[in-house]
Amino acid sequence: MTSHQPPLWRRAVAELLGTCLLVSIVVGSGIAAQRLSPNDVGLQLLENSTATVLGLTVLILVFGPVSGAHFNPVVSAADWFLGRRSRAGLTLAELGTYVVAQVVGAIGGSLLANAMFDVGTSVSVKGRATSGHLLGEVVATAGLIVLIFALAATKRGALAAPAVGAYVGAAYWFTSSTSFANPAVTVGRIFSDTFAGIAPGSVPGFVVAQLIGAVLGLGLLAVLFPVAARSADDVVLPHSLEKTGA
């Protein structure tokens, strides 16, 4: 990583807070949706996905200039993998720090949402690991990786916030899994037995499917955007001290 990056501790704090708030948005809006529309699951999903689209877009804009706004271990891992030869992305040590911050933040996000809605923290019993759900996670994650790194490779990183928000919102509906596409968020959602929760037994399958999706996404990038590795440092948003004036 270049010397122009914000210090690692600052980036880790941004990743922790951003992932915490993302999961809080997902879980909290799911709880609100259940209460507002108790007899209409379709409307619940619409409310949940709309809040997630808007919230994620804002979080990328806020935290992107500091850490890149990964909020997702597979995005960070892809950043490290693509940039490892040219040293354009995360180092292995930075990757580990990002992932720990993201997982801790995701768990904190569930706890925060539970506390705001006075539902108490309990482990979810909502099973999701059907073959269709797992395929949905492969597709959702592959598409997310291609989108993020294609934008960076074609110098359109400024569009990342609305584009990633739009993709996640659409994937809520076109994938059977409602597009977790994020191992940290998946782990975090264990700790809320509400609309957005996931049972611990479903988590390993989801994470494996997400990793497979990430590998597939990287393969597609190699075919479609072979120069993507050169822009790994600008994922999800450019985050250098020179560009942000930090």
Q: Which domains does the chain have, with CATH numbers?
A: 8-241 (1.20.1080.10)
Tell me how far apart the alpha carbons of residues 149 and 219 are, in angstroms, rounded to a whole number: 12
DSSP state of 177: T
Q: Tens of pLDDT along the chain (246 residues)? A: 444 789 999 999 999 999 999 999 999 999 999 999 999 999 999 999 999 999 999 999 999 999 999 999 999 999 999 988 777 789 999 999 999 999 999 999 999 999 999 998 899 999 998 999 999 999 999 999 999 999 999 999 899 999 999 999 999 999 999 999 999 999 999 999 999 999 999 999 999 999 999 999 999 999 999 888 777 777 887 776 654 444
Tell me how far apart the alpha carbons of residues 242 and 246 are, in angstroms, rounded to a whole number: 7
Query: Per the confidence metrics, is the pTM higher than 0.75?
Result: yes
Of 132, 133, 127, 101, nearest to 13 by C-alpha is 101
Other Cβ atoms within 10 Å of 204 Cβ, number? 11
Residues 6+ apart with CB under 8 A from 209: 134, 135, 137, 138, 141
